Copies of this chain bind each other. A is one copy, B any other.
Amino acid sequence: MKKVAIVGGTGYTGVELLRILARHPEVKVSAITSRSEAGRQVSDIYPSLRGEFDLAFSEPNNEILSQADLVFFATPNGVAMQQARVLLDAGTKVVDLAADFRLQDIDVWSHWYGMEHACADLVEEAVYGLPEVNRQAITKARLVANPGCYPTAVQIGLLPLLEQGLINRQHIIADCKSGVSGAGRGAAVGSLLCEAGDSFKAYGVAGHRHLPEIKERLAIASGAPIGLTFVPHLTPMIRGIHATIYAQAQDAIDLHSLQAAYEARYANHGFVDVMPLGSHPETRSVRGSNICRVALHQPQGEDTLVILSAIDNLVKGAAGQAVHNMNLMLGLAENAGLDIMPLSP
């Protein structure tokens, strides 16, 4: 059994890591830290975990953490970059579920996250943890930047088009809708049931931190900068992200060939499900699972392609993908612990 630890385990990505790791056949959670909840049993805060872990939150302690084979940072932005080096130096691998290592361009990172970066060299070393792109590199990585939730859904939807140069790179639109858990477990007025319930709105239209991440990674995939309008929306549900992506076909498109191209692109990636042409993936069809379902459309046969992409933001968009990365980094079976059925209805 490998030993893993979680730093900052009181939020939704923390409890989701615990939910998944509780049934992982080859991994044991050796420590979970939280300054605010130190000393409390995990199951006191999360009754859904009762009987699963005999584990209390502890103060962060690098000595203890570095005894683990791998440490997950489920912390706010800016924490992992302060702590990663000492763990890496001790031979412990790191997966950061926050944004500290997601952007290669440090200046862009500082601009969007409003702080200086603490370790530019580690950014350079870090591997962007989207296994559908970087599986091999992740296998060899010490430090993985787990992708953002929106970026995961959008990239999986767009990669085949951009990798093959099939669309106009300048005017891509990603209209994305997220469940409220994307805002985390922090006590914020905007996330109250009475504020976010039975209502719908856009937010961050002027600029959202996932925009530069998507642009950087898609530019890498397409070999040239891309133009993207990204509008996130808040949907009155708990889990799920649905991306509706609009792209102008470069030339005449044969939709059946495109479907075949998507199927081929992801044939070797078991967590991506390319649905039959004309499908409409529902977020509930991936609820609780690590699956991304994608469907292609060409409305009225015109030159605007519409790609639909649905994930569970807490699983494929966070904790599940982190465990996927862990499996690769520790040499375990790729889907170990992730063979979870979606919960529907």
Contact = CB atoms under 8 A, between A and B. Distances in A.
A117 to B, nearest CB: 22
Interface in A266-323: 273, 275, 278-288, 293, 297, 299-300, 302, 304, 306, 308, 310, 314
Interface in A47-90: 47-48, 50-52
A300 B207 contact: yes
In this complex, the member of A199, A280, A308 whose beta carbon has the largest number of chain B beta carbons within 10 angstroms is A199
Interface in A199-229: 199-203, 205-207, 211, 227, 229
Contacts of A201: 242, 280-283, 310
A171 B304 contact: yes
Contact of A345 (B239, B279, B300): B239
In this complex, the member of A194, A229, A339 whose beta carbon has the largest number of chain B beta carbons within 10 angstroms is A194
A47 B173 contact: no
Contacts of A205: 278, 280, 297, 299, 306, 308
A253 to B, nearest CB: 14
A1 interface: no
A329 interface: no
B188 A191 contact: no
Copies in the complex: 4
Contact of A180 (B46, B189, B192, B278): B192
Interface residues of A, number: 84
A86 to B, nearest CB: 31
A259 interface: no
Given A177-B200, A206-B297, A15 B344 contact: yes
B273 A238 contact: no
Contact of A198 (B48, B231, B284): B284
Interface string A228-249: 0111010111111010101010
A304 to B, nearest CB: 4
A40 interface: no
Nearest to A46: B344
A23 to B, nearest CB: 6
A185 interface: yes
Contacts of A238: 193-194, 197-198, 345
A40 B165 CA distance: 37
Contacts of A239: 198, 345
12 contacts: A12-B345, A23-B341, A47-B285, A47-B293, A48-B284, A48-B285, A48-B343, A173-B173, A191-B192, A198-B237, A198-B239, A205-B280
Ranked 9 nearest A-B pairs via Cβ:
A199-B284, A48-B344, A48-B342, A201-B282, A175-B175, A187-B187, A194-B345, A47-B285, A193-B193
Interface of A: 12, 15, 19-20, 22-23, 46-48, 50-52, 171, 173, 175, 177, 179-181, 185, 187-189, 191-203, 205-207, 211, 227, 229-231, 233, 235-240, 242, 244, 246, 248, 273, 275, 278-288, 293, 297, 299-300, 302, 304, 306, 308, 310, 314, 339, 341-345
